[in-house]
Amino acid sequence: MHWSKTQSRARFNLATSGVASFPLCELPIDLKELEINGDNSYGYAPLQQAIAAHHGVDPDCVVESEGTSMANHLAMAAIIEAGNEVLIEHPAYGPILDIAQYLQANVKRFRRAEEDGWAIDPAEVRRCITPKTRLIVITNLHNPTSAFTLNSVLREIGDIARSVGALVLVDEVYLDAVYENTPRTSFHLGPEFLVTTSLTKVYGVSGLRCGWILAQSDLAWKMRRLNDLYSATPVYPGELLSVAAFQHLDLLRERARRIVEADRKLLRDFLKQQSSLSAVSTEWGTTSFPRLSRDCGRNADAFLDRLRSEFDTSAVPGRFFEMPDHFRIGMGVDTEMFAEGLDRISRALRQSD
Ligand SMILES: Cc1ncc(COP(=O)(O)O)c(C=O)c1O
């Protein structure tokens, strides 16, 4: 997070994970209706209802949060006690690991294998689980690879969790980037599931910090009470704008979709031409996680430093996902910039050969 706030900038910035900003002037709203203060002690009812309707769940199961970041923190803090065992996928989005460590969990890992297209193997989860496991954490789509996990696999994970009285946390911040037959949230799969997500990555309105958790109502209430310690009350104008965003969600999503799809096509063509890169191709998602071949030193850091200093282009080092021979490329911001960024990556790779 610190790296992305301070060192990811470049003219050709492929170190992104979310789509282009959606401009306020294109959101069909009457700004005179904005207000600073309002009734939102434990969330703003129209926003709770909009989120609940979006997922087909009871509003009592919706906990507002500042982005998926705070959603993950609240969810894990409400469940984990020091010493509890938590199973987290590998590779993982770093802050998820950091939260578990901050809460003094005993963190164990289950592997997503590149040779299996980064899929979750339930047998691997079964091998790692113990009676002490309190929580299993998954991202769907997976960050950094964008691998998609089917409900049938999630159901198996739910069965494994239930067998030891554990819960399954699914971070679905990228799930709505499955633009066709978008799956329903895994919250519907059973009482052992809880879900975190937000409007930040797929809808281009990150600045609203509109995030939430879906949890069974007793656990949801525990999270709201815990949030009294952190954010106390949400930002009311942000909630009003978030309700407006929900009213025009298709508009926001379609605008981003056009860019993501154009970028994915460019990325596929690019990868076909790169002998020093290999990557699992995914149908959906805003990120890809190529691996550098042995000839390029197999440590992406040196390559990415040169890419930034000599080619003014950035991508995220794989070390942030515990895989230093990989790097992450983000799609969905600006297709012209993306095309030029890819071209610069290929020139930098040619220099390394
Ligand atoms: C898997 C995952 N969860 C959560 C977040 C944080 O999202 P937000 O901006 O909604 O806090 C990110 C951001 O990159 C992410 O990749």
Please tell me the distance from the alpha carbon of residue 302 to that of residue 294, in angstroms, as a whole number: 13
Q: Are strands 106-111 and 85-90 parallel, antiparallel or unpaired?
A: parallel
What is the pLDDT averaged over residues 64-84?
97
Q: Pocket of ligand 1, candidates 19, 64, 68: which has the most ligand atoms within 8 Å of its Cβ, to mutate?
A: 68
Pairing of strands 291-292, 277-278: antiparallel
- The pLDDT-based confidence of 7 (bands split at 50, 70, 90) is confident
**Is residue 156 scored above 70 in pLDDT?**
yes
Q: Which atom of ligand 1 is nearest to the CA of 4?
A: 14
Q: Which atom of ligand 1 is nearest to the CA of 199?
A: 10
What percent of the chain is modeled with pLDDT above 90?
Answer: 93
Mean confidence (pLDDT) of the chain: 96
93, 96, 97, 98: CA torsion to nearest 10: 110
Query: How many CB atoms lie under 10 A from the CB of residue 303?
Result: 23
The number of the ligand 1 atom at minimal distance from the alpha carbon of 209 is: 10
Instruction: Look at the pTM and tell me if it is higher than 0.95.
Output: yes
> Looking at the chain, how many residues does it have?
353
Whether the per-residue pLDDT at 297 is higher than 70: the answer is: no
Residue 167 and residue 160: Cα distance in Å, rounded?
Answer: 10
Closest CA to 160 of 130, 118, 120, 116: 130
> Coil, strand or helix: which one is 348?
helix
Question: Binning pLDDT at 50, 70 and 90, where does residue 5 land?
Answer: confident
Cβ atoms of 171 and 142 within 8 Å: the answer is no
> Minimal CA–CA distance to 62: which of 286, 205, 188, 216?
216
Q: What is the pLDDT of residue 222?
A: 98
Band of the pLDDT at 172, cuts 50, 70, 90?
very high
Residue 287 Cβ inside 6 Å of ligand 1? The answer reads no
Q: Taking residues 197-215, report their average pLDDT.
A: 98
* Pocket of ligand 1 contains residue 67 by CB under 6 Å: yes
In terms of Cβ atoms closer than 10 Å to its own Cβ (0-12, 13-18, 19+), residue 252 is buried
**Is the CB of residue 189 less than 8 Å from the CB of residue 158?**
yes
- Between the CA of 173 and the centroid of ligand 1 the distance, in Å, is 6
- The H or E element that residue 153 is part of is helix 151-163
Residue 353 has pLDDT above 80, yes or no: no
Task: Kindly state if the Cβ of 171 falls inside 6 Å of ligand 1.
Answer: yes
Is residue 247 lining ligand 1, measured as CB closer than 6 Å?
A: no
**Nearest ligand 1 atom to alpha carbon 66:** 11
Regarding the beta carbon of 200 and ligand 1, being less than 6 Å apart is answered yes
